[in-house]
């Protein structure tokens, strides 16, 4: 049931290589910290996956609420870690420069817990609506719920862009919804409820009351508020590698290409076959 591979593996090596191509000095501090934390916990997990994954049964019935904190930062295997952290690298560079590091860290912390809560609520609703208690046992791990929320934020702060999903141009306004369905169809082992939870939390921030609630909680700490006029994406030029091919996935300059790597049909298909037989929902 457990697929975690201890030690250095192909996905981890590829992740470290691509991070080095961007340059550690070009990665904002909080984004780099999230990458380091996830890699560290992959190599040195606090507990086995069966003891960190989040489910209704574990969190609600058994009162293991600490899983809200543990589940987002543990991954099933090296490729699960790779895809999530490459996505975090791109989204972190885009958003952290814009929102300031402290506010971005605040967002990551709040989203990590809140997405788990929404995930539990969705699974409970599925149990009630479908009268199927098996949904109480669905146990999810991974950071992709937070990544879906960050995708909503990125599209909100940068409207009018076009994203590529499976090679198809999609308006950024709808890209997260198309990607939600596409990933679930191509890789059924992923957690639809976990990804949907991320989108809903992102919308709660951009269109609902969450942003104001977070600002109210941070009131009185002057440097801990989101800037009214966010800065431009980059304060310094980013060193990028030459275009090329790596593992069958096109590799143009990395700070722009992680989307294309993740959305390329080869990589999505590879993720499908590499995640079969997991026994865990990948978030």
Residues recognised as catalytic = 144, 195
Q: What is the pLDDT of residue 75?
A: 95
Is pLDDT larger for residue 168 or for residue 113?
113
Round to whole Å and give the CA distance between 83 and 189: 14
User: What is the rounded average pLDDT of the residues 144-167?
Assistant: 86
Q: According to the model, what pLDDT value does residue 171 have? A: 78
Question: pTM of the prediction?
Answer: 0.77
Domain 10-226+233-278 has CATH 1.10.1760.20: no
Mean pLDDT of 140-168: 87
pLDDT tens track for 117-126: 999 999 999 9
Q: Which two tokens stand for residue 161?
A: 């862009």
Across the range 124-142, mean pLDDT stands at 93
The helix or strand, by DSSP H or E, that contains position 114, with its residue range, turns out to be helix 101-130
Residue 237 has pLDDT above 70, yes or no: no
pLDDT tens per residue across span 58-86? 999 999 999 999 999 999 999 999 999 99
Lookup result for tokens 């992102």: 202
Q: Where are the domains of the chain?
A: 10-226+233-278
Q: Which residues contact 20 (CB under 8 A, 6 or more apart)?
A: none
The answer, yes or no, to whether residue 240 has pLDDT greater than 50, is no
Helices (H) and strands (E) in the chain, counts: 12, 6
Is 3 or 181 the better-scoring residue by pLDDT?
A: 181
CA angle 76, 21, 152 (to 5 degrees): 55
pLDDT at 209 over 90: yes
């Amino acid at each position: 049931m457990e697929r975690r591979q201890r030690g250095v593996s192909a996905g981890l090596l590829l992740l470290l290589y691509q991070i080095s191509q961007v340059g550690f000095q070009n990665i904002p501090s909080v984004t780099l910290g999230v990458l380091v934390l996830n890699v560290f916990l992959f190599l040195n997990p606090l507990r086995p996956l069966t003891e960190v994954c989040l489910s209704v049964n574990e969190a609600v019935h058994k009162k293991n609420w600490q899983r809200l904190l543990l589940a987002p930062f543990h991954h099933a295997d090296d490729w699960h870690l790779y895809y999530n952290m490459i996505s975090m690298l791109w989204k972190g560079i885009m958003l952290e420069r814009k929102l300031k590091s402290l506010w971005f860290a605040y967002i990551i912390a709040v989203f990590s817990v809140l997405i788990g809560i929404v995930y539990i609520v969705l699974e409970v609703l599925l149990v009630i609506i479908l009268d199927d208690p098996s949904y109480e046992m669905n146990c999810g791990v991974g950071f992709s719920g937070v990544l879906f929320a960050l995708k909503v934020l990125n599209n909100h702060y940068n409207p009018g862009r076009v994203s590529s999903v499976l090679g198809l141009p999609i308006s950024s306004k709808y890209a997260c919804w198309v990607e939600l369905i596409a990933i679930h169809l191509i890789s059924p082992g992923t957690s639809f409820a976990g990804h949907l939870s991320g989108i809903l939390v992102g919308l709660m921030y951009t269109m609902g009351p969450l942003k104001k609630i977070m600002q109210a909680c941070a009131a009185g700490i002057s440097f801990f508020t989101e800037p009214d006029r966010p800065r431009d994406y980059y304060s310094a030029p980013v060193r990028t590698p030459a275009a090329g091919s790596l593992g069958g996935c096109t590799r143009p300059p990395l700070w722009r290409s992680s989307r294309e790597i993740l959305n390329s049909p080869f990589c999505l298909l590879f993720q499908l076959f590499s995640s079969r037989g997991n026994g865990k929902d990948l978030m």
